[in-house]
Structure 1
Amino acid sequence: MSILRMTPEAEATGLVAEIYEDDRRSLGYVPSYTKALSLNPEAYLAAESLLKAVSKPLGTRCYELVTLAASQAIGSTHCRLAHGEKSLRIFKEEQLLAIARDFHNADLSEAEVAMMDYAVRVCTDAAAMTDADTQRLRDLGFSDREIVNITMTAAARNFISRSVLAMGVDLEVPPGMSEELKDALLGPLAPNPNGS
């Protein structure tokens, strides 16, 4: 449980009130991680701006897949649950369960699996990455700009996830999420058969 004194919804004003209202519109509630991060609303909005700048050209499907892989690699339960919920708009629950358990065996394209492996590597061993990591994505048809967006999506997830984890923000399960999906999203990262 976080010791931060977060702004209650009834007391939110200005930018904080706008941030809260945006979550109420898009999610139906205001998660604890939003309340914590919006203690600096300008930084919150700057992070949101970065995410929009990389997610829009990448496309929702790719963005959510990279985010799910990155947040699992980081151990971010908050982001896994939040983006698992958002991913239900793209995937049927059966496929999302497979992605959450082991994206290598979830009926995704070779390019999508490689993109997710790349995101895991960004989050777990970025210092050891080489041109071969980028070349793999290029060989599968990703443009240089898409590779930059994939990289920045994974790196931005580190910033947000690690901030939320470090502040001890309460973990909330999105309303209506099935127990099976919750358990799959919170499960351990499956090993990469390619060794990265």
Structure 2
Amino acid sequence: VADAGFVFAYTRAMAVNPEAHEAFMALIRAIVPSIGVRVYEAATLGAARAIGSPHCLLAHGRKSLRADVLSEDGLAAFARGDDSGFTPAEQAVIRYAEALSTDPRAMTDADTQRLRDAGYDDRQIVDITLAAAARNYFSRSLLALAVPTDDVPGLDPATAAALRADAA
């Protein structure tokens, strides 16, 4: 409540096994320091868009606005499939997260090489991979449990609608 201003619907589902949710949060806390919030959100949003997770697109869209990762225009563009609000290196992260989220068995060394070419080191590549994989775990859990999608405050209604449509 203190951070978001409301209680997300996923809280009820995760309250059934709070230790698992805390382990997920500990993983996120271990990932973010090496890649930073901007890259973490790029990986998260890329994975959420590929999965079609309205929960995570809305929640992390809001987080991206609050952390100045994206402007309102940049988030609206992202919802339309335009990643120009991100740097070229962050766009490489989005593509990587999308590949991991849609067909990870098709990934090759060329996928990680693109991240390397964008300036990421081995630790960062592992943490980008973990960020996208963690988003798959959480997003797919919410989808499988049929957790209702929240109306997330702080998002322009048109942008929120576009993010929901992006998840459809």
TM over 0.5: yes
Matched pairs, number: 165
Q: Distance in 1 between matches of 2:149 and 2:133?
A: 22
8 Å contact kept, 2:75–2:85: no
**Residue among 73, 76, 88 paired with 1:94:** 73
**Residue among 47, 69, 82 paired with 1:103:** 82
Higher relative contact order (CA 8 A, sep 6+): 2
Highest CA radius of gyration, 1 or 2?
1
8 Å contact kept, 2:76–2:159: yes
Aligned equivalent of 1:137: 115
1:187 aligns with 2:165: yes
Compute the RMSD of aligned alpha carbons.
1.3
1:81-101 CA distances to partner (integer Å, 9 max, x unpaired)?
A: 110111112122011111222
**Residue among 51, 61, 64 paired with 1:74:** 51
1:161 aligns with 2:139: yes
- CA 1:163–1:87: 2 relative to 1, 3 Å: same
User: Percent identity at matched positions?
Assistant: 48
TM-score using structure 1 length: 0.80
TM-score using structure 2 length: 0.93
Tell me which amino acid in the other structure corresponds to 1:100.
A
Aligned equivalent of 1:128: 106
Deviation of 1:107 after TM superposition, in Å, equals 4.0
Tell me which amino acid in the other structure corresponds to 2:78.
I
Q: Distance in 2 between matches of 1:152 and 1:77?
A: 20
Structure 2's unaligned 5+ residue stretches are: none
Aligned equivalent of 1:25: 2
